Structure 1
Amino acid sequence: MTGSTNTPQESAGGYPGVGRVLVVIPTYNESDNIRVIVDRVRRAAPAVDVLIADDNSPDGTGAIADELAAADPQIHVLHRPGKQGLGAAYIAGFGWARERGYDAVVEMDADGSHAPEELPRLLDAGRDADVVIGSRWVRGGKVINWPVRRLVLSRGASLYTRMAMGYPVRDATAGYRVYRMPVLDKLELDQVASQGYCFQIDLGWRAYRHGFRIVEVPITFAERERGASKMSSTIVREALVRVTVWGAQARLGSVKRALGGGQKRPG
């Protein structure tokens, strides 16, 4: 794994009320999208930096990322040795941000489904919250160009998560997020092995269990126009199994605390 093409430049105070912000964009075969999405981020939020975490894409995404970084000191590239999954890419990006003194990290997809133009609203919410989730399933949120099957799957996954785990987030699988660095420092990321849907549930659940303040901001989620989706039945099955286990553990912990034999909720 190699590091950034650039040395991060200190911005003039970063994003107001939030500090130095790094947008992490994991990529694998996103050569059709990466130029467009990075340009939109830089236009929408000029004060933030961008890290493209590329898993050695065979379509040349990494080379395009290097070109972008060479032309803009606020764009950086993390070359990873191969396809290791979304969760691993984000964890690597979080570590990169921590080592360089960033105050907050944004998760954003490379395919355009997360509109960079909505990033300032998420960052504004981050002034008073520890975690901000760009939510499709709160009032004002919506999804464009999804088949009914995907809508049912996503909404059903979040509903099941709320019911099974007692986790009061309406869009538990959302991937457009802002994490303040103190949250990431607390979440024991070296123990996170989840991917896809499950990775987002896992991190949000850990943040909730530690008592961090989570807010949801409505977004418009648009299905990708170019390239292939990375969603698979394996990712969905992993989420179902893990959520069921976590829910059972949470209920057991509640029973133990009620009987006076369990540990207190971490905070």
Structure 2
Amino acid sequence: MKPCLLIPVYNHERAIVPLLAQLQAFGLPCILVDDGSSPACRQVLNDCAARHGSWVSLLQRPANGGKGAAVVDGFRWAIGQGYSHALQIDADGQHRVDDIPKFLQLGRQNPEKMILGAPQYQADAPKSRVHGRKITNFWVAVNTLSRAIGDGMCGFRLYPLAAVAQLLAGSRLAPGMAFDIDIAVRLYWQGLDAVNQLTPVRYPLDGVSHFDLWRDNVKISATHARLFCGMLPRIPRLLARHWR
């Protein structure tokens, strides 16, 4: 197992510095993907890459393409560098980094499975996000005909990159906030099982959220609809898998 950290960043210049300070103790190589951030954030990321050059690599996208587009660029780079697993974590400081060893241990025990964060919400979680998550998880269960995926949207995950490379060769994933849903369902369709790890979530460390309530919910709904259409011809195989 040769894991790396993968962090998509878009205008989180206040949160990324303390996050990297926390992550350094784990001794993992880290890939930062700058998704077309502002000049101020880009300068902070350049400074971070220069200061932590022994373990931090910086990829810079020329324009903002969305979380999914940034993560896919990071995946491709990590695959090219020979990493076996990528531990995705959000840049805003909402995830508890002390849980990283739990994800890695589960990855060693289940090297061909996706290890998915299952969020434990705190009092600061917006009610709209909590209730929206319940709707998303209902549709994820429908589109996989299972409850294997505990949470479809948590951005704290460990992916086996061989399976990701296979998926990327034949699928175009949602580029924005619907990415986490899209890739989890499609990897499940591909045959991967999931291990769900409970982890606390807080909102967010620097007060910056790029989730647009209306625009992103429309895109997430469209992704659920596409996945539902893709699920229909897979029903026999999914049911047979469930019965086994």
Q: TM-score, normalised on structure 1?
A: 0.81
Shift of 1:20: 2.1
Give 2:226's match in structure 1, choosing from 238, 245, 261: 245
Q: Is the 8 A contact 2:95 2:202 kept in 1?
A: yes
**Alpha-carbon displacement from aligned partner over 1:32-56 (angstroms, at most 9, x marks no partner):** 111011111112x12x111111123
Give 1:182's match in structure 2, choosing from 156, 162, 165: 162
**1:57-76 to 2 correspondences below 5 Å:** 57-72=37-52, 73-76=54-57
Number of residue pairs matched?
Answer: 236
Cα distance 1:146–1:25, how it changes in 2: closer, same or farther (>3 A)? same
Which residue is equivalent to 1:218?
198
Letter in 1 for 2:189: R
- Structure 1, unmatched stretches of 5+, are 1-18, 259-263
Work out which structure has the larger RCO, using CA pairs closer than 8 Å and 6 or more positions apart in sequence: 2
Shift of 1:170: 2.0
Shift of 1:195: 3.4
Q: Is the 8 A contact 1:144 1:221 kept in 2?
A: no
Shift of 1:94: 0.4
Letter in 1 for 2:47: E
Give 2:115's match in structure 1, choosing from 114, 132, 142: 132
**RMSD, aligned CA:** 2.3
Which residue is equivalent to 1:39?
21
**Alpha-carbon displacement from aligned partner over 1:167-194 (angstroms, at most 9, x marks no partner):** 4212011111101121112212563241
Shift >4 Å, 4+ stretches: 255-258
Considering only CA atoms, is the larger Rg found in Structure 1 or Structure 2? Answer: 1
Which residue is equivalent to 1:163?
142
Shift of 1:255: 6.2
Q: Distance in 1 between matches of 2:136 and 2:68?
A: 18
Q: Which has the higher helix share?
A: 2
Report the 3-state secondary structure (helix = DSSP H, G, I; strand = E; otherwise coil) of the residue aligned with 2:30: strand
Q: TM-score, normalised on structure 2?
A: 0.88
1:205 equivalenced with 2:205 (yes/no): no
Which residue is equivalent to 2:88?
107
Which residue is equivalent to 1:26?
8
Shift of 1:254: 2.4
- Structure 2, unmatched stretches of 5+, are none
Q: Is the 8 A contact 2:49 2:57 kept in 1?
A: yes
